[in-house]
Structure 1
Amino acid sequence: MPLLLIGIVVAAVAVVALAYWSPGRVTVYEFERGLRYRKGRFVGIVQPGTHWVARRGGSITKVDVRPYVLTVPGQELLTSDGIGIKVSLVAGVEVVDPAAAVNQVQNYTATLYTLLQVALRQTVSSRTLEDLLAGRADIGAKVLEDSAQAALAFGLKLATVDVRDVMLPGDLKRIFAQEVAARKEGLAALERARGETAALRNLANAARMIEDNPALMQLRLLQQLGTTGGNTVVLGESAVIPVAKRNRPAGKGKESVEDKETST
């Protein structure tokens, strides 16, 4: 009986020791990288695959290295001319150094979020509202320029930074809407004036041509009559007499008739 008890105790101790000392298996997937630690110290990065790690004093921390998008929601900011607006960002991020991302900062996503907030505040506060609205694309470029190097220091690569929204106060929205409407109305009035000017110019050119060539009016009339049917048109003698002759003084016409009667 004592021997049996001793055997059971030895077997139990062996099982516990085996469970404590035997290595564990960790699978690192293709989109991950593993950080191997031994007794709390970082010893290297492990690539995708299955790895054995000692249970006593060893561990592997997995880090997702796929690119992702970080959204910075609307931040209440003041422009250089004292106008309060809200600006939101979207940033394309990639973990290029997982060891630095995990070991250099406590939470690399939260650290990057704060970094983008500060860079955005500095960019907006240095420009007027008019400059911000006119150069909206420049805001993201400036934030990227100011943040990229600092993000790289803790293992993150900023690929892109773009402005998602620029939100104005309600009264400013109404003012800008009125300004846009006034600009559109002005452009429409300008186009109408241009059209009227062109029409008047065409009429003036036509009048000048008819004055220089009176027969053109008769030709145009005959051409128009040829395209229509079912109408009765009565033409008097004056309709085919050139304008220059119709405008002669009445006396000259009577004298010519009397001369013809005398000659006959």
Structure 2
Amino acid sequence: MFRRHLTVQPDENVLAFRDGVLLGVFGPGRHRRRGRTRVVRVDTRRRLLVLAPQDVLTADGLGVRATLAVRWRVVDPVTFHAAATDAEAEMHLAAQIVLRSAVAAVDAENLAARPDAVGSAALTAALVPAATAVGVEVDEVVLRDVILPPAVRDARTELVTARTRGQARLEEARAETAALRALANGARLLEEHPALARVRLVEAAGPGTQLVLHVGDDARA
């Protein structure tokens, strides 16, 4: 006999058990509830799992710290409830294993230079089997941060600084070369055209300056 009602919210599913037997899965809405019925509510909203920084080894044996973010949601509430005593802990462990395997396949230099060297699609695909086993659908897995050891960070900073200084010196040398080339071209032009040299001299002279120009055998003041 139905004795009372069960209200299921839009963001959940409810598992109904009676005498240890699953009676059914109820979606959002108002449902009749039999006596001695035990209910288990399962949140179906999207969730975010963020791993704390993990100490992992790269392909070349360098220890780094990395974090992983997983967006997931429950799509099979029965499996989510029955497959493990703590399905979220299972997801956490699976994400740790995926992170370690992914970082171990890339060397430290590539990982530091290109954080996307471990693609989101590959990480997601690697986590799907473990997630499916507990009734979870994985929307996205992202490698958030890669933290190099201090000595490696300092070495990379020195390398970038040296490259920047070298580039600055190269640009300075190019500018000096261009200036010298312009001076040489100007000197050649003045040598080939003496009249132009005299015009430049007049332009460069300040007001009130007395100039004596020699043109052939004539002299003018």
Q: TM-score, normalised by structure 2?
A: 0.85
Unmatched segments (≥5 aa) in structure 2: none
Matched, 1:46 2:48: no
Matched, 1:63 2:45: no
CA RMSD of aligned residues (A): 2.4
Q: What is the identity, as a one-letter code, of the residue corresponding to 1:205?
A: N
Could you tell me which of 198, 202, 210 is aligned with 1:234? Answer: 210
Looking at structure 2, the residues matched to 189 and 29 of structure 1 have their Cα atoms a distance apart, in angstroms, of 67
CA displacement at 1:79 relative to structure 2: 1.6
SS, match of residue 234 in structure 1: coil
User: Contact between 2:110 and 2:117, CA under 8 Å: does it hold in 1?
Assistant: no
CA displacement at 1:138 relative to structure 2: 2.8
Q: What is the identity, as a one-letter code, of the residue corresponding to 1:129?
A: A
Could you tell me which of 159, 163, 172 is aligned with 2:139? Answer: 159
Q: What is the identity, as a one-letter code, of the residue corresponding to 1:237?
A: L
Matched, 1:139 2:139: no
User: Contact between 1:53 and 1:60, CA under 8 Å: does it hold in 2?
Assistant: no
CA 1:40–1:220: 2 relative to 1, 3 Å: farther
Matched, 1:213 2:188: no
| 2:176 aligned residue | 196
Q: Which has more strand, going by share of residues?
A: 2
CA displacement at 1:140 relative to structure 2: 4.6
Higher relative contact order (CA 8 A, sep 6+): 2
Q: What is the identity, as a one-letter code, of the residue corresponding to 2:210?
A: V
Unmatched segments (≥5 aa) in structure 1: 1-20, 246-252, 257-264
CA 1:224–1:120: 2 relative to 1, 3 Å: same
The structure with the larger Rg is 1
Q: 61-70 or 153-162, which moves further after superposition?
A: 153-162
User: Contact between 1:81 and 1:129, CA under 8 Å: does it hold in 2?
Assistant: yes
CA 1:220–1:237: 2 relative to 1, 3 Å: closer
Could you tell me which of 86, 106, 109 is aligned with 2:85? Answer: 106
CA displacement at 1:23 relative to structure 2: 2.7
Looking at structure 2, the residues matched to 155 and 176 of structure 1 have their Cα atoms a distance apart, in angstroms, of 44
CA 1:106–1:140: 2 relative to 1, 3 Å: farther
Q: TM-score, normalised by structure 1?
A: 0.73
Looking at structure 2, the residues matched to 135 and 97 of structure 1 have their Cα atoms a distance apart, in angstroms, of 36
CA displacement at 1:94 relative to structure 2: 2.1
CA 1:111–1:212: 2 relative to 1, 3 Å: same
Instruction: Tell me the alpha carbon deviations over residues 202-242 of structure 1, each in whole angstroms, 9 at most, x when there is no partner.
Output: 222222322333333333444556xx7xx32111123xx4x
